[in-house]
Amino acid sequence: MDKNTLTGLLLMAAVIFGFMWFNAPSEAELAEKQRIQDSIAQADLTAAQAAQNGAVVDVLTAEEIAQLKEVLAKSCADSAQAGIDNNGVKLSLAGGEITGTVNLGDTQVDFNEVKSDSTNNAAVHNRAVAAVKKALEVYTKNGSFAACLSGTEQVIKLQNDSLAVEINGKGGVISRASLLAYKAFNAPNVEVFTPGENDYSFTLSNNTQRFDTRNFYFTPKQLNDSTVLMQLDLGGGSTWGLKYTLVPGSYMVRMEMVQENMNKVIPLNINSVDLSWHQKMARHEEGKMFEERNSAIYYKYYGESGDVEYTKESGDDEQEIKDKLKWISTKNQFFSAVLISDSCFTGAQLVSKEFGKDHADHNKYLKDMTIHTVVPYASDKANPASFYFYLGPNRYPTLSDYDKYSPKEDLQLTRLIPLGWKLFRWINTGIIIPVFTWLGKFINGYGIIILILTLIIKLVLSPLTFKSYMSQAKMRVLAPEIAEINNRYPGEENAMKRQQKTMELYSMAGASPFGGCLPMLLQMPILIAMFTFFPSCIELRGQSFLWAADLSAPDKIVEWTAQIPFITNYFGNHISLFCLLMTVTNIGYTYLTMQSQSQQNAMPGMKWMMYLMPLMFLVFFNNYASGLSYYYFISLLITIVQTYSCRLFVNEDKVRAKIAENKAKPRKKSGFMARLEEAQRQQQQALKEQQKRNGGKRRK
């Protein structure tokens, strides 16, 4: 390297170092640079934390804050319910600024932090922002009703001698209805409504919004000892509420929709409100099978001739009703809640579902029932809709008294009690229930009442019983002559002749093979009517007699847990003593009947079939009310006594003499007998001609 090159390199280095020294940053510039680097590092850290918390930092927009201020300004006009209070969001307006907190359960966030666009914990911040936005949406959606979204859940109690109800300020509904005279198997009182298991609400609407009353806090106003008004103050002089009046000495609660200036909130073109009613029907009886089998949604069509119908009592069912209804009810074996409209319900959607055996609440509830219907409405009327709530027992005299609440229409509330088809229902309502109720006025023990009722029934039917026995006695006397006719005309070819001679014998003797069956047939409607009466008779509920603790339930003396294939659903897992006694008595009565009847023409195997029937009744009746088995047991005993009494008072020698006397008298054949004999003669003649033709063909 020569001298010139070296000199050039040194000069270049000197220029570079001089330039660097001249442009070196000052201490202030170094500090600023450090600040910028620290800010970048902090931003990176915040971004990393946000990424770690799994969310981008959310913010309230200026428009949303403005909406919040508008809602708060309107809400704070009512000092009793100032601000927003919704799902942990509590905000108010002070000096034009929003203040308050957001309670997230595990932490509480001040609103100033919520509206900030920076945070050290994006997850918590975002949850708080989301809660505020949700509250804003709810209050914006509910318009004039928004101020009623927050408040105190006050409960008002009304009570008379029969019914105690609790009316809850949240939703303005009857949350509890206790029947003071009835006990449940697992509670001091039967509750037709229980908080958390029953709720109903009205949904009002304008042209753009829907307002479900279950979301609002009503202000209670106790008008007197039996009346309370649950009211919503919507501002501007507009109010809407439900007024409840507990009718003294009854199971009726009057529910009236009351309002003022609601046309400012609900336009006049809205002519209906929706009504939703949901109930998880709880068990009240120890025996679930019959209670579940008798649980359904009942309803009556509007009009004097409107029929009463119901959903399926077994399994799930859904029905859509398009016609008008007068009342709708959730009904179980012994108790009902019935909502009766002063006007009508316009159609309904009904859903009834069973709690399956795999459901966690299978043993606690019977059915899950949902009702949606529509009620006529007008926003310019002070009382646009009115109802009665019947919350009580399915007791025939009680329900029949409540027809007075609808003078223009027979409510037919007694149809809530299953008393059988028309004939059997007529026997129950026209004879059995009046006598049973009348006896109950003088006698306390229902076991004794059933005994007396059975004696009365058997006394009334005794002429038919005596006629049946006389017919059997005549048949026994005629048995040898019938056997002689059978021997004289044997074989199929003489069947017509044999039958003709037998009928002639009956006619001459004044006897009939149907004489014993007809009186028994006439007694069957009463036996069937009693079969439907006892399981539905609430008067027997909880009434003890002898070893039976409850005449409306099986009187179990032996129980087990094992399942008997095919019959457990009918027989149950127990033995009922009254049912067992009924079966033994029935077998004895069958033996007595078989002994007193001629067995000449008995079909093969009929004897064993007659003895099998009582055992079938044992399987079928073992799970029924002990009062029913007790009635049949007493009835059979009395029938046996009547049979022996008839034997004492009926002399068969006199019967033979009477038959002989009838034979000696010339008897004019009735038109029926004459036609029957002529038909038999023609048939016999046709048979002979056919036999001749067949014989001629064989000879050829």
For residue range 48-70, list pLDDT tens digits in order.
454 444 456 788 888 888 878 87
Is residue 670's pLDDT more than 80? no
Residue 596 pLDDT grade (very low, low, confident, very high; cuts 50, 70, 90) = low
**What confidence score (pLDDT) does residue 40 get?**
43
Is 41 among the domain residues? no
Is residue 610's pLDDT more than 70? yes
For residue range 510-552, list pLDDT tens digits in order.
566 655 555 566 678 888 888 889 888 999 988 889 998 888 8
Is residue 404's pLDDT more than 80? no
Is residue 378's pLDDT more than 70? yes
Within 10 angstroms of residue 144's Cβ, the number of other Cβ atoms is: 21
Q: Which residue has the higher pLDDT, 559 or 690?
A: 559
Question: Is 339 in the same domain as 370?
Answer: yes
Evaluate whether 167 touches 174 at the Cβ level (below 8 Å).
yes
427-436, long-range: CB < 8 A, 24+ apart: 427/525, 427/526, 427/529, 428/529, 428/532, 428/533, 429/396, 432/529, 432/530, 432/533, 433/396, 433/397, 433/533, 436/537, 436/539
For residue range 218-264, list pLDDT tens digits in order.
999 999 989 999 999 887 788 999 999 999 989 999 999 999 998 88
Question: Is 171 in the same domain as 230?
Answer: yes
Is 280 among the domain residues? yes
In this structure, the dihedral spanned by the alpha carbons of residues 311, 314, 316 and 321, taken in order and rounded to 10 degrees, is: -10
Q: Which residue has the higher pLDDT, 330 or 21?
A: 330
Task: Give 297's strand partners.
Answer: 330
For residue range 76-105, list pLDDT tens digits in order.
554 444 677 777 888 888 878 888 888 888
Average pLDDT over residues 289-294: 83
Last residue of a domain, one of 100, 117, 141: 141
Last residue of a domain, one of 95, 117, 141: 141
Residue 479 pLDDT grade (very low, low, confident, very high; cuts 50, 70, 90) = low
For residue range 194-204, list pLDDT tens digits in order.
998 999 999 99
Question: Is 521 in the same domain as 470?
Answer: yes
**What confidence score (pLDDT) does residue 600 get?**
46
Question: Is 292 in the same domain as 387?
Answer: yes
Residue 19 pLDDT grade (very low, low, confident, very high; cuts 50, 70, 90) = very low
Question: Is 249 in the same domain as 390?
Answer: yes
Between 159-173, 324-338, 491-505, 611-625, the lowest mean confidence (pLDDT) is in 491-505
Is residue 696's pLDDT more than 80? no
**What confidence score (pLDDT) does residue 523 get?**
74
> Average model confidence (pLDDT) for the chain?
79
Helices marked H in 557-651 — which ranges? 568-571, 577-596, 606-621, 626-649
Is 15 among the domain residues? no
Question: Is 127 in the same domain as 162?
Answer: no
Is residue 651's pLDDT more than 60? no
Between 341-355, 477-491, 631-645, the lowest mean confidence (pLDDT) is in 477-491
**What confidence score (pLDDT) does residue 71 get?**
75
Number of domains in the chain: 3
Q: What's the chain's Rg over C-alpha atoms? A: 43
Q: What percent of the chain has pLDDT over 70?
A: 73
For residue 392, which amino acid is it? G
**What confidence score (pLDDT) does residue 38 get?**
54
- What length does the chain have? 700
Q: Which residue has the higher pLDDT, 697 or 199?
A: 199
Nearest-angstrom CA–CA distance, 138 and 131 = 11
Strands (E), 304-398: 308-310, 317-331, 335-354, 365-376, 385-393
Is 22 among the domain residues? no
Question: Is 269 in the same domain as 337?
Answer: yes
Phi and psi of 237, rounded to 5°? 85, 5
Average pLDDT over residues 467-495: 69
Is residue 32's pLDDT more than 60? no
Is 31 among the domain residues? no
Residue 75 pLDDT grade (very low, low, confident, very high; cuts 50, 70, 90) = low
Nearest-angstrom CA–CA distance, 60 and 112 = 11
Average pLDDT over residues 100-124: 81
Question: Is 576 in the same domain as 637?
Answer: yes
**What confidence score (pLDDT) does residue 314 get?**
82
Average pLDDT over residues 41-46: 48
Question: Is 244 in the same domain as 326?
Answer: yes
State the SS3 of 159-189.
Answer: ECCCEEEEEECECCEEEEEEECCCCECCECC
Is 680 among the domain residues? no
Residue 174 pLDDT grade (very low, low, confident, very high; cuts 50, 70, 90) = very high
Question: Is 581 in the same domain as 628?
Answer: yes
Residue 362 pLDDT grade (very low, low, confident, very high; cuts 50, 70, 90) = confident
Question: Is 283 in the same domain as 349?
Answer: yes
Nearest-angstrom CA–CA distance, 83 and 74 = 9
Is 578 among the domain residues? yes
Nearest-angstrom CA–CA distance, 232 and 242 = 9
- Going by the DSSP 8-state scheme, the letter that residue 544 receives in this structure is -
**What confidence score (pLDDT) does residue 172 get?**
93
Phi and psi of 164, rounded to 5°? -125, 125
Residue 488 belongs to what domain range?
446-662
Q: What is this structure's pTM?
A: 0.74
Q: Which residue has the higher pLDDT, 29 or 272?
A: 272
Looking up residue 318, the CATH number of its domain turns out to be 2.70.98.90
451 exposed, middle or buried (CB, 10 Å; 0-12, 13-18, 19+)?
middle
Nearest-angstrom CA–CA distance, 276 and 280 = 14
Is residue 464's pLDDT more than 50? yes
Question: Is 242 in the same domain as 128?
Answer: no
Between 3-17, 583-597, 626-640, the lowest mean confidence (pLDDT) is in 3-17
